[in-house]
Amino acid sequence: MPSIRGCTLATCPIEASIYEYRLSLPANAAFIGLFGLSGLIHLLQLLVLRSNYAFSIPILLGCIGEIIGYVGRLILYNNPFSIDGFLIQICALTIAPAFFTAAIYFCIADIVRLFGCEGTSRLKPKQYAWVFIPCDIISLVLQGLGGGVASVATRRQEDGTAGVNIMIAGLAFQVFSLLMFILLLAEFFVRVYRRGYLWREVNGYEIKAGSGAGGIGRTALGRLYIFFSAFSLAILCIFIRCAYRVAELSHGFDGELIREEAPFIGLEGV
């Protein structure tokens, strides 16, 4: 990254800035609003409805991280030469989605319990968290460590390649663990579909859907399918986003892809 200390829009051309263009104010402000609204909804669910803490708290942390990251991008909008703004957004937006995947890993346990794991899931409900949460923690530690190393190097105007490579390692590990999770989830859904009905455990017995106190009615099933569609879409989007970030950072802070805002908005934000 070239030296930009002391530069402002009045003294240096925009082409000399970190991204070489003026970031979009509407897009970044919109993402702050969307993640803020999402975080507020989950906070209300947590406080009022006493929703699942293992799901809601990681979602809240992820939303806070995203908001911090986009605030960093607003700092860059006001001052495209701000190293602080750049480091805030690159670190926060890289790390935040790890909290979303943690929420997903906790959520799948409830899904497997609902459908019954006998003959459908390779892992028992609790084992999903036992296997994938440590993977998420490893990814989070690597990304945070890499971001810290890169930040220190950038502030000192030194080569931040080592830090970037550590961040890439964390992201790549997250992509790999997500891929394994997606394969297990796909197999689970295929097996449930082939079985053709839904189980629910009641008082130690497995009850078929619609067959008594443990049954799940048609309306509830319809809502479940909508939820599963959104759940699967969320996983796919996070996977695509992580793969994009690996590609973006593979050429360091001076790469071409990191200076393209349209792919960032489409693949990172949306």
Write the single-letter amino acid at 19: Y
**For 13-67, what is each residue's pLDDT tens digit?**
888 888 888 999 999 999 999 999 999 999 998 888 877 788 889 999 999 999 9
pTM of the model: 0.85
Give the per-residue pLDDT at 53.
Answer: 84
**Residue 263 within any structural domain of the chain:** yes
Can you tell me the distance from the alpha carbon of 257 to that of 244, in angstroms, rounded to the nearest whole number? Answer: 9
Cα–Cα distances in angstroms (integers) from residue 158 to residues 12, 161, 194, 255, in the given order: 21, 9, 57, 16
**Residue 14 within any structural domain of the chain:** no
**Residue 12 within any structural domain of the chain:** no
**For 117-175, what is each residue's pLDDT tens digit?**
667 888 888 899 899 999 999 999 999 999 889 888 887 878 888 999 999 999 999 99
Number of domains in the chain: 1
**Residue 210 within any structural domain of the chain:** yes
**For 184-226, what is each residue's pLDDT tens digit?**
999 988 887 777 655 555 555 555 544 444 445 555 667 777 8
**Residue 70 within any structural domain of the chain:** yes
Q: Is the pLDDT of residue 1 over 70?
A: no
Cα–Cα distances in angstroms (integers) from residue 228 to residues 15, 46, 111, 199, 221, in the given order: 45, 21, 9, 16, 10
Q: For the chain, give the percent of residues with pLDDT over 90.
A: 43
**Residue 108 within any structural domain of the chain:** yes
**Residue 224 within any structural domain of the chain:** yes
**Residue 11 within any structural domain of the chain:** no
Write the single-letter amino acid at 138: I
**For 89-113, what is each residue's pLDDT tens digit?**
989 998 999 999 999 998 888 888 8
27: domain range?
19-269
